[in-house]
Amino acid sequence: MDWNDQEYCEIWRHEWEVIQNRYLEANDRPERVDLRSYARQGLDIVPTVHEGAAVRQMEKRGIQTNIGNLNREIRAANSLMKSIRQLIQNLKGWITELGEKRKELLAQKAAEEATLLPNLLMKYMEIRKEERKDWTRAGQNRGTSQDLKAVSEALSYLRQKGLSTVEDLEAFLESSGKSAADYRNQMKPKEARSKVIDGILASRTDCKECKLVYEKYQKIFFKKTKEKFKQEHPEVARYEKAAAYLAKHPDDKDSTQKELQQEQEKLLSEIAELKVPLTEVQEDLKKLRDIRYWVRKATPGTEESKEPPKKQPIKEVLQDKTDEKKAQRTTPAQEKHRQQDMEL
């Protein structure tokens, strides 16, 4: 049996997968290993490029490499898309729930006004003010000031985006999700091409470094001697693997290393540019997440509307009482000085 035969690759990988998962489960770890690629698993995740020992050592010493930079870009993009998908999913769920609540409110006289986002945010402020009625006066003032600032920024944001109703918000979310997907789809082929360039450059290096050993291997006539030589010289397998990879990309055969590196630099620059609007979409969704909570808080029947009032932090209460006592001690002294000034 040839252990390097591709026919058995899936079998070996499956056995290794089973062993790893068995030990992970035995140690109460939540992670699981899957031999399938992300594509076979149906996951919209771009895989990173294999870095190898040389690249890892350079990265550990603080030397940035093309492969390392590409992997950082890929991880950042994957993380960004995961965050965006999660935010969109949560916000869509909220909109569906809010739509159901709106149907109930339509039976009431003020249904139209009750579903306007600015009105709901104002109602949220009133609720928060009522919840703080047992707080210290200083705590109430601080809380009201913070709410006013946050809601003012939210209203400004909603006006800037032209969002005034739940329907507007739903349409905006749908548009944001499509925009994020479009940007991600533009990034994928660029990331894939950059990975190919890395593979070509690495394969060319392997072929160059292992060529002499491989030529010796080719000159051996006897089969057993040849197999033994191959086992003793890993350069042979490296050369064969590299040559096979280069054979899969004949269109790049005549491209120089400089041309490939310049192309990759351009690709990485384009990927970085596409990340900017993706990040903006994420920031929009984060703001909408806060607005969602406030609106839910002001919408009867939601879980947030049933939450008990938050208590003022003990540390704040103690500090406010200390400040009040200081103020009480200072006031008589100030009054005494004022009377003395008047007598003079």
Residue 165 DSSP one-character state: B
Residue 332 clears pLDDT 70, i.e. is over it? no
pLDDT tier at 78, thresholds 50, 70, 90:
confident
Q: Which amino acid is at 177?
A: G
Give the gyration radius of the chain's Cα atoms.
32
Give the burial class of 76: count Cβ atoms within 10 A of its Cβ; 0-12 exposed, 13-18 middle, 19 or more buried: middle
pLDDT at 232: 93
Q: Who has greater pLDDT, 263 or 148?
A: 263
Residue 247 to residue 254: CA distance in whole angstroms: 12
Residue 8 DSSP one-character state: G
Residues near 85 by beta carbon (within 8 Å), at least 6 away in sequence: 180
Residue 260 to residue 254: CA distance in whole angstroms: 10
Q: 17-56 burial string, b = 16+ CB within 10 Å, else e?
A: eeeeeeeeeeeeeeeeeebeeeeeeeeebbebbebeeebe
pLDDT tier at 161, thresholds 50, 70, 90:
confident
Least confident of 202-216, 245-259, 275-289: 275-289
pLDDT at 103: 64
Residue 161 to residue 290: CA distance in whole angstroms: 16
Residue 73 clears pLDDT 90, i.e. is over it? no
For residue 81, the Cα-to-chain-centroid distance in whole angstroms is 6
Q: What is the mean pLDDT of residues 247-261?
A: 92
Tell me how crowded residue 330 is: count the other CB atoms within 10 A of its CB. 10
Decide: 257 and 221 in contact? Cβ < 8 Å.
Answer: no
Residue in this structure with the two tokens 């990340």, named with its chain if needed: 275
Least confident of 49-53, 56-60, 261-265: 49-53
Any idea of the CA torsion for 126, 128, 130, 135, to the nearest 10 degrees? -140
pLDDT tier at 210, thresholds 50, 70, 90:
very high
Each residue of 220-240: pLDDT tens digit?
989 899 999 999 999 999 999
DSSP, residue by residue, 73-136: HHHHHHHHHHHHHHHHHHHHHHHHHHHHHHHHHTTSTTHHHHTBHHHHHHHHHHHHHHHTTTS-
Closest CA relative to residue 92, chosen from 294, 327, 288:
288
Residue 88 clears pLDDT 80, i.e. is over it? no
Q: Which amino acid is at 105?
A: L
Residue 85 to residue 168: CA distance in whole angstroms: 19
DSSP, residue by residue, 277-335: HHHHHHHHHHHHHHHHHHHHHTSTTSTGGGSPPPPPPHHHHHHHHHHHHHHHHHHHHHH
Give the burial class of 296: count Cβ atoms within 10 A of its Cβ; 0-12 exposed, 13-18 middle, 19 or more buried: buried
Residue 36 clears pLDDT 60, i.e. is over it? yes
Selection from 3-7, 173-177, 251-255, 319-323 with the highest mean pLDDT: 251-255
Q: Which amino acid is at 158?
A: L
pLDDT at 341: 54
Q: Who has greater pLDDT, 280 or 243?
A: 243
Q: Who has greater pLDDT, 244 or 162?
A: 244
Residue 18 to residue 35: CA distance in whole angstroms: 9
Decide: 278 and 183 in contact? Cβ < 8 Å.
Answer: yes
pLDDT at 218: 92
Q: What is the mean pLDDT of residues 54-68?
A: 82
Task: Report residue 343 as tokens.
Answer: 């007598």
pLDDT at 251: 92
Residue 310 clears pLDDT 80, i.e. is over it? no
Q: Who has greater pLDDT, 90 or 28?
A: 28
Each residue of 120-130: pLDDT tens digit?
788 888 888 88
pLDDT at 236: 93
Q: Who has greater pLDDT, 317 or 229?
A: 229
pLDDT tier at 328, thresholds 50, 70, 90:
low
pLDDT at 98: 67
Residue 160 clears pLDDT 70, i.e. is over it? yes
Each residue of 172-183: pLDDT tens digit?
878 888 888 888
User: What is the rounded average pLDDT for all residues in the chain?
Assistant: 80
Over pLDDT 90: what percentage of the chain?
22
Each residue of 293-304: pLDDT tens digit?
887 787 777 777
Q: What are phi and psi of 165, to 5 degrees?
A: -130, 170
Which pTM was predicted? 0.56
Tell me how crowded residue 271 is: count the other CB atoms within 10 A of its CB. 21
Q: What are phi and psi of 42, to 5 degrees?
A: 75, 25
